[in-house]
Each structure stands twice: as structure tokens, then as C-alpha cells.
Structure 1
Amino acid sequence: MTVNDDSFTNWKHREEIAESMIPMIGKLHRERDVTVLLHSRSLVNKSVVSILKTHRFARQIAGAELSVTETLPFLETLTTLDLGPSQIDIGMLAATYKADDRGLSVAEFTAEAVAGATGGDKIERREGRDVVLYGFGRIGRLVARLLIEKAGSGNGLRLRAIVVRGGGDQDIVKRASLLRRDSIHGQFQGTITIDEDSSTIVANGNAIKVIYADDPASVDYTAYGIKDAILIDNTGKWRDREGLSKHLRPGIDKVVLTAPGKGDVPNIVHGVNHDTIKPDERILSCASCTTNAIVPPLKAMDDEFGVRRGHVETVHSFTNDQNLLDNYHKSERRGRSAPLNMVITETGAASAVAKALPDLKARITGSSIRVPVPDVSIAILNLQMARETTREEVLDHLREVSLTSPLKRQIDFTTAPDAVSSDFIGSRHASIVDAGATKVEGDNAILYLWYDNEFGYSCQVIRVVQHVSGVEYPTYPAPAV
């Protein structure tokens, strides 16, 4: 047999194994509310090839490809356990099992590692929590996709309604079409139908009421059977407590803003300060996409090396706030054509760091340049640290953080030598460390952090909503602290 034949036979064997994993992953998710992960990447509703590619990705960060032959025994064991709602990372199970020298079987090791999700310790499945989207623009539609995707078990977040201003004839048809097809993020994964008579969009079986209103004060959500809901305001029209309080109508319990909050509105970066949210807090902000991109790496660097001062320069994709062609704009430069120019503008991300990381004593400054790409940005984080270090030490630390720490859902890591912005469209992490571009000299480190400012940020929003709704389930094996 030739090398080519041998490689192809091996590929077909791995395909067969990945195929056998799909019903096990689906059944765990559907019947027990268990999300199977591989190095923080969900395997729910993934194709055979996607499962194999996710396994291969481990080579970039762990140095060796992870095979489905290694993870299958852990998945098979999970199907035999009395599991409650949880997230279980079979990549981490395989990695920690390799490092364990006690001679346990896979079944024994797995049962021990996920003990908190079994038997008397497991969390009981909870009733779903209603969610309302106020606004249906770029972030609103991506958040909708994520909510629909995560509704598989029926016990998590339920997107019940979207609130928009009336747009004339066939308004609901056009909005459903924008949800169905996206020029950047591709086709919606599933089916979408509409009922114009009842103003309802049905996406993968989820009935979503379209409510037309020009003012939050005009909506009584209980009239639509909505109760105790979390409302996600993605319009950015109101950013202080007084304005956002307009949403606290019958049927709405909490308001989450997808823009930086002003005044005393808490700015939350999931993974960093989400555990500071008070149970009785009814209004909070998910800060900005750039704040979410820089705060987790800042925390990781400060925890290990100490940060004395820093500057962030964001090279940011253009947004709907800019003009396609030169035209009047309230900002001096944003009126100039977005797809034809690099546009110097301001960023509030640096000043927002203090709200999300109050223990960081370093002064962080920032500026931004909008560039002619439609999605994915890069933050260049220039840090003076409290001690000297090496490039190898910094990269080893950030690689480990991306794999095993509580920040592993926020920080990703790539060693791809030819990485460019479009490679990170659809990334679910808040930011991705580009190892090849990292520079370290003495006590100075310069990090290049890619981030999908649309989808990655939307994932962070969903994590915050899951946390405040009580459906953010624990992850096993538990991340190293």
C-alpha cells in the first residue's frame, strides 16, 4: 500500500469515527442539556468534517493533532453517566488523562473528572428564560442566530420576540431574509418561514414575534405571553440607566446593552468581571467589542507579569455608523467614505478598561483607525510590564491561558504564519493572540489580537445573558485557576 493509500484509509477511518460521534453529541445535548466541547469549541450540530477539523486545530496550540480515536472513549463514557446540565470538554479530558499517572481507566478517570455534573451533585434542568431583542441590526441578527442555535435542548434561552420600527410593506419578509442570508457570516443554519398575518418569524421551530414600536414605553410584553424576560438592546440609542430603564416594562426583568454603558451602568466583560454582577442588578452593559478583545489578554498579562502602563491601537473594520460615500456625519471624519479610506477615529475601549478591571493600576491609552474591511479587527496592545521576560515565556503563558484557564472561552491562540483578518470571521472568542506577530523585549511586550468585532462580540453578549439568566452551566474538567 502506498503512502497516499494509507493516508486516505486513515482519513476514511477517522470519518467513520466522527460520524459515530454525532448522534452521541446530539443526544447528550437534546436530552440532558450537555454541551460537548473540544478545547472550548462546541461540537453540537457540527458536521463530520467540522469535527475532524476541530480535532486538527489542537495541533496549533498543543503541538500535536488530537485524534478522534483518542476522544471517542471519553464521549462513549459520558453517554453512560447520569449527567446533568453542563459543558464537558473532551479535548481537556484527553489531555489531562494523558498527564495522569494513577493508572485509571478512561471510564474511571472521566467519572471522577465530571463528578460535579452527576448524581446528587448535578444541576437540575431549568425552565427556559424568555429573551427579547430590541433592534435587529448587525449584532441583533447574530445574537438571534446564536439564541436559536442554543435552543436545541429547549431548556435554555428562548428568543420570544424582536422589537423594531415599522418599515412599510413586506417589512417582516425583508427582516427574515436578512436573518436567512448574510454577506459576511453566510447562510443561516436551518430553516426560516414567516407568518405575515401574525407577524411571526419561525426559525428552526422557534416562533419569534415581531413587535412594531417606536418607543419602549408603548410595549406591554405580557400581552404576548412574555414573562420575566431579558431584553437585549442592540440599538445603542440609550446608554445610561435612565434611558435603559424605559425597557423595564411588564414582562421584562433585566436589560442588557450591547454598547458601552454610561454613568453607573456596569460594563461587563464575560470571563473577567461577570461574577461581580449583583443578583438584583436589572441594567447592565456588555461594553464594546474592542473592550472585550483587550481586557481578557490584559488580565492574563497582568496576572503573570504585572502591567505598569499600556497603549492600544485598534485597526477596526468599518461599521454602519460610517458612510458608504462622502456625506454629512456628526463626527468629523466618519462622514468620509468607509470602503475607500482609512479613517482615524476615537475608541472608548481604553477608558472602559477601568470599569471591567478596577484592580488594574496601569494607565491604558487608546486610539483607532477604521479600515476598508467589513468585519474582523485587530488590537495592537503595547505593554510595559513590571518585570523583564522573553517572547517564549509570554507565548507559553498565553497559549496555556487559551487552553486551560477560566479565560479559555475569551482568548484563542494561533500560530498560523500566514494568518489574515478573514481567517477569523466567525470566531467565537473575544480575541485571538497572533503568536507570529508577538514582540517582546525586556519589560516591553506588543501583542497583536485579532477579533471578529461582530460574531465574537455577540458570543460574549450571549455568555453574559446566560450568566444573568441562570443557564450558564459549569464546565468540566474545571479550568485551572
Structure 2
Amino acid sequence: MTLNDDSFTNWKNREEIAESMIPMIGKLHRERDVTVLLHSRSLVNKSVVSILKTHRFARQIAGEELSVTETLPFLETLVALDLGPSQIDIGMLAATYRADHRGLSVAEFTAEAVAGATGANKIERREPRDVVLYGFGRIGRLVARLLIEKSGSGNGLRLRAIVVRGGGDQDLVKRASLLRRDSVHGQFQGTITVDEANNRIIANGNEITVIYADDPSQVDYTEYGVRNAILIDNTGKWRDREGLSKHLRPGIDKVVLTAPGKGDVPNIVHGVNHDTIKPDEQILSCASCTTNAIVPPLKAMADEYGVLRGHVETVHSFTNDQNLLDNYHKADRRGRSAPLNMVITETGAASAVAKALPDLKAPITGSSIRVPVPDVSIAILSLRLGRETTRAEVLDHLREVSLTSPLKRQIDFTTAPDAVSMDFIGSRHSSIIDAGATKVDGDNAILYLWYDNEFGYSCQVVRVVQHVSGVEYPTYPATGV
């Protein structure tokens, strides 16, 4: 047998193992509301090849590829346990088991690591929480995809309605088509049908009512069977408490804004300050995509090295706020053609840092350049640190943060030497550290942070909504196990 034959046989064996994992992952998700992760990446509804690629990606974080032969025993043990709703990272289970020297079997170690989600300790499956989308543009449709994807267990969040302004003939069909096909993010994973008689879009069995209204005051959501819902405002039309309070109509309990909030509206970056949300808070903001990209690594650096001052330069993909061709715009430069120009503009991300990290006293400045790409941006974060360090130390620290810290869902890490922006379309992290571009000289550090400013940000929005809805289930093993 040749070496190539050996490699091919090994691949087919791993394919077979990954194939055997799919029904176990699906059963845990549907029957017990357990989401199986691999280094913070969900394996629910993933293909054989996707499962194998996710295992291989672990080499960029942990330094070596993770094999399905190593994770399968942990998954088999999970299926046999009396688990309650939770998220369980089999990559972390494998890594922590490897570092454990007590001589426990995989079954014994796993049972101990997830004990908080088993038997008398497990939490009850919660009733679905209604969600309404106000606006159905770039972020609205991606949030809809995520909500539909996460409704597979029948629990958690349930997208009940979308509010839009009337668009004329075939409006419902056209909006359904925009949800079905996306030029950047590809095809919707599932089936979408249109029920024009009842103004509904049915996506993977989820019946979503489309409500036509020009103003929040025109809608009584209880008429559509919506109760105690969280409304996600994707329009950005109202950004202060007074304006957003217009959404607190019958059937709506809380309002989440997908833009930076003004005044006393809390700006929340999940993973950093979501625990500060007061239970009775009805109005909050998920800040901006750029704020979500820079705040987690900024916190990671400040916690370890201290930060005296910083500047962020954002090279940002163009957005729908800009013109396709030169035309009038109220802003100074955004009227110039977005696909043809680099456009200097402002960013509020630097000032928003203070809301998300109030303990960070370092001044942070910022500016932005819009460039002719439709998605994925990069933030260049230049920091003056509180002590001198080395490039190797910084990279080791950030790699570890992306693997084991409470920020592992926000911060990703890549060592790919030829990485470019298109490689990060669909990333569910809010920030990806580019190891190869990182520069450190004494107490000066420059971090290059990729981020899918559409999808990665939408994932952060959904995490905040899960948290305030009470359906954000605990993750095991806990950090430090």
C-alpha cells in the first residue's frame, strides 16, 4: 500500500466516525436542548466535512489537529448521561482530559466535568421566548437566519414576526427571496415557503408573520399572538431611550437595538459586560460591529498588561448607508461611490469603549476608512501597554484567551499566513486575531483584528438576546476545569 493509499484510508475512516457523530449531536440538541461545541464552534446541523474541518482548525488554536477518534468517546458518554439544557464543548473536554493525570476514564472524567448539567443539578427546559424583528435589512435577515437555526430544539428563542414598511406588489415574495438567497452569505440552510393569504414566511417550519407598519405606534402585537416578546430594532432610526420606548407596545417586553445607543441606553458587548444588564432593563443596545470587534481583545490586553492609551483604525467594508454611485448624501464623503472609492469617515467605536469598559481609564481614539468590499472589515488596534512584553508572549496570551477564557466565543485566532478578508465571511466570532500581522515592540502593541461586520455582529446580537431572555444555557466544562 502506498503512502497516498494510507492517507486516503485514514480520511475515509475519519469520515465514517464523523458521520456516526451526526445523529448523536442531533439527538442531544432536539431531545435535551444540548448544543455540542468544538472549541466554541457549534457542531449542530453540520456536515461530515464541516465536522472534520472544525477538528482540523483546532491546530491553529491548540497547536495540533484534534482527531474525531479523540472526541468521539466524549460524545458517546454525553449521549448516555442524564443531561439537561446546556452547551458542551467536546474540544475542551478532550483538552482538559489530556491535561488531567488522575487516571480517570473518559466516562468518569466527562461525568465530573458536566456534573452541573446532569441529574438533580440540571435546569429545566424553558418555554420558547417570542422575538420580533423590526426592520429586515442586512442585519435583520442574518439575525433571522440565526434565530431559525437555533429553533431546532423547539425551545429557546422563537421568531414570531417581522415588521417592515409596505413595499408594493410581491413584497412578501421578494422579502422571502432575500432571506433565501444572499450574495455574500449564500443560500439559506433549509426551506422557505410563502403563505401570502396569511402574510407569513415559513422557514424550516417556523411560521413568521410579516407585519406592515410605518411606525411602532401602529402595531398591537398581541393581535398576532405575540406575548412577552423581545423586539430587535434593526433600523437604527431611534437610538435613545425616548425613541426606542415607542416599541414597548402590547406584546413587547424588551427592546434590543442593533446600533450604538445614545444617552443612558446601555451599550452591551456580549462576553464583556452582558452580566451588568439589570433584570428590569427594558431597553438596551448591542453597540456597533466595530465596538464588538475591539472591546474583547482590548479587555484581554488590559487585564494582562494594562493599557495606557490606544488608537483604532478601522478598514471597513461599505454599507447600505453609502451610495452606489456619486449622489447627494448628508455626510461629507459618503455620497461618493462606495464600490469605487476608499472613503474616510468617522467611527463612534472608540468613544463606545467607555460604556462597555468603564474601568478602562485609558483614552482611546479612532477613525475609519470605508473600502470597496461588501463584507468583512479589519480593525488595527494600536496600544501603549502598562509594561513591556514580547510578540511571542502576546500571541501566547491571546491564543490562550481564544481557547479557554470567558471571551472564547468572542475572540478567535488565526495563524494562516495568507489570510485575507474573504476567509472570514461567516465567522461567528466578533474578532479574529491575525497572529502573523501582530507587532510588539516593548510597551507598544499593534493588533490586527478581522471581523465579519454582518454575521459576526449578528451572532453577538443573538447572544445578548439569549442572555436577557433567560435561555442562555451554561457551558461545560467550565473555564479552568
Residue 297 of structure 1 deviates from its aligned partner by 0.2
C-alpha separation between the residues in 2 aligned to 1:456 and 1:480?
26
C-alpha separation between the residues in 2 aligned to 1:81 and 1:363?
50
> What is the percentage of aligned positions where both structures have the same residue?
90
Q: Which residue of 1 aligns with 2:396?
A: 396
C-alpha separation between the residues in 2 aligned to 1:252 and 1:322?
32
C-alpha separation between the residues in 2 aligned to 1:154 and 1:315?
40
Residue 102 of structure 1 deviates from its aligned partner by 0.1
Cα deviations across residues 99-126 of structure 1 (Å, max 9, x unaligned)?
Answer: 0000000000000000000011111000
Residue 480 of structure 1 deviates from its aligned partner by 3.5
Q: Which residue of 2 aligns with 1:74?
A: 74
C-alpha separation between the residues in 1 aligned to 2:480 and 2:108?
21
C-alpha separation between the residues in 2 aligned to 1:8 and 1:440?
42
Residue 446 of structure 1 deviates from its aligned partner by 0.1
C-alpha separation between the residues in 2 aligned to 1:355 and 1:371?
28
Q: Which residue of 1 aligns with 2:20?
A: 20
- Provide the secondary structure at the position in 2 that maps to 1:189: coil
Cα deviations across residues 338-378 of structure 1 (Å, max 9, x unaligned)?
Answer: 00000000000000000000000110000000000000000
1:213 counterpart = 2:216: no
Any conservation in 2 of the 1:165–1:213 contact (CA below 8 Å)?
yes
Residue 16 of structure 1 deviates from its aligned partner by 0.2
Gaps of 5+ in 2: none
Q: Which residue of 2 aligns with 1:340?
A: 340
Q: Which residue of 1 aligns with 2:142?
A: 142
Any conservation in 2 of the 1:131–1:230 contact (CA below 8 Å)?
yes
Cα deviations across residues 127-169 of structure 1 (Å, max 9, x unaligned)?
Answer: 0000000000000000000000000001110000000000000
Residue 408 of structure 1 deviates from its aligned partner by 0.1
C-alpha separation between the residues in 2 aligned to 1:135 and 1:231?
10
- Provide the secondary structure at the position in 2 that maps to 1:393: helix
Residue 308 of structure 1 deviates from its aligned partner by 0.3
C-alpha separation between the residues in 2 aligned to 1:332 and 1:469?
40
Cα deviations across residues 68-91 of structure 1 (Å, max 9, x unaligned)?
Answer: 000000000000000000000000
Any conservation in 2 of the 1:310–1:382 contact (CA below 8 Å)?
yes
C-alpha separation between the residues in 2 aligned to 1:418 and 1:123?
45
Cα deviations across residues 403-435 of structure 1 (Å, max 9, x unaligned)?
Answer: 000000000000000000000000000000000
C-alpha separation between the residues in 1 aligned to 2:63 and 2:243?
50
Cα deviations across residues 196-235 of structure 1 (Å, max 9, x unaligned)?
Answer: 1100000000000000000101100000110000000000
C-alpha separation between the residues in 1 aligned to 2:12 and 2:473?
35
C-alpha separation between the residues in 1 aligned to 2:167 and 2:479?
47
- Provide the secondary structure at the position in 1 that maps to 2:460: helix
Q: Which residue of 2 aligns with 1:36?
A: 36
C-alpha separation between the residues in 1 aligned to 2:291 and 2:480?
24
C-alpha separation between the residues in 1 aligned to 2:360 and 2:85?
35
- Provide the secondary structure at the position in 2 that maps to 1:339: coil
Q: How many residues align?
A: 481
Residue 263 of structure 1 deviates from its aligned partner by 0.2
Cα deviations across residues 441-480 of structure 1 (Å, max 9, x unaligned)?
Answer: 0000000000000000000000000000000000000124
Any conservation in 2 of the 1:379–1:449 contact (CA below 8 Å)?
yes
C-alpha separation between the residues in 2 aligned to 1:480 and 1:461?
27
Any conservation in 2 of the 1:61–1:414 contact (CA below 8 Å)?
yes
C-alpha separation between the residues in 2 aligned to 1:337 and 1:215?
31
Equivalences for 1:8-157 in 2 at 5 Å?
Answer: 8-157=8-157
- Provide the secondary structure at the position in 1 that maps to 2:36: strand
Residue 19 of structure 1 deviates from its aligned partner by 0.2
Residue 28 of structure 1 deviates from its aligned partner by 0.1
- Provide the secondary structure at the position in 2 that maps to 1:116: helix
Cα deviations across residues 381-405 of structure 1 (Å, max 9, x unaligned)?
Answer: 0000000000000000000000000
Q: Which residue of 2 aligns with 1:3?
A: 3
C-alpha separation between the residues in 2 aligned to 1:248 and 1:301?
39
- Provide the secondary structure at the position in 1 that maps to 2:24: helix
Residue 5 of structure 1 deviates from its aligned partner by 0.1
C-alpha separation between the residues in 2 aligned to 1:480 and 1:183?
41
Q: TM-score, normalised by structure 2?
A: 1.00
Cα deviations across residues 46-102 of structure 1 (Å, max 9, x unaligned)?
Answer: 000000000000011111100000000000000000000000000000000000000
Any conservation in 2 of the 1:58–1:65 contact (CA below 8 Å)?
yes
- Provide the secondary structure at the position in 1 that maps to 2:387: coil
Any conservation in 2 of the 1:383–1:446 contact (CA below 8 Å)?
yes
Residue 333 of structure 1 deviates from its aligned partner by 0.1
The two structures, once aligned, show a CA RMSD in angstroms of 0.6
- Provide the secondary structure at the position in 2 that maps to 1:442: strand
Any conservation in 2 of the 1:300–1:401 contact (CA below 8 Å)?
yes
Any conservation in 2 of the 1:308–1:385 contact (CA below 8 Å)?
yes
C-alpha separation between the residues in 1 aligned to 2:350 and 2:447?
15
C-alpha separation between the residues in 2 aligned to 1:479 and 1:223?
45
C-alpha separation between the residues in 1 aligned to 2:161 and 2:250?
14
- Provide the secondary structure at the position in 2 that maps to 1:386: strand
C-alpha separation between the residues in 2 aligned to 1:401 and 1:174?
43
C-alpha separation between the residues in 2 aligned to 1:357 and 1:284?
16
C-alpha separation between the residues in 1 aligned to 2:303 and 2:318?
33
Any conservation in 2 of the 1:142–1:458 contact (CA below 8 Å)?
yes
C-alpha separation between the residues in 2 aligned to 1:163 and 1:61?
41
- Provide the secondary structure at the position in 2 that maps to 1:256: strand
Any conservation in 2 of the 1:57–1:65 contact (CA below 8 Å)?
yes
Any conservation in 2 of the 1:406–1:480 contact (CA below 8 Å)?
no
C-alpha separation between the residues in 2 aligned to 1:19 and 1:200?
35
Any conservation in 2 of the 1:308–1:363 contact (CA below 8 Å)?
yes
- Provide the secondary structure at the position in 2 that maps to 1:60: helix
Any conservation in 2 of the 1:236–1:258 contact (CA below 8 Å)?
yes
C-alpha separation between the residues in 1 aligned to 2:281 and 2:164?
25
Cα deviations across residues 288-319 of structure 1 (Å, max 9, x unaligned)?
Answer: 00000000000000000000000000000000
- Provide the secondary structure at the position in 2 that maps to 1:344: strand
Q: TM-score, normalised by structure 1?
A: 1.00
- Provide the secondary structure at the position in 1 that maps to 2:379: strand
Cα deviations across residues 245-268 of structure 1 (Å, max 9, x unaligned)?
Answer: 000000000000000000000000
- Provide the secondary structure at the position in 1 that maps to 2:388: coil
C-alpha separation between the residues in 2 aligned to 1:27 and 1:397?
36
Gaps of 5+ in 1: none
C-alpha separation between the residues in 2 aligned to 1:332 and 1:260?
21
- Provide the secondary structure at the position in 1 that maps to 2:111: helix
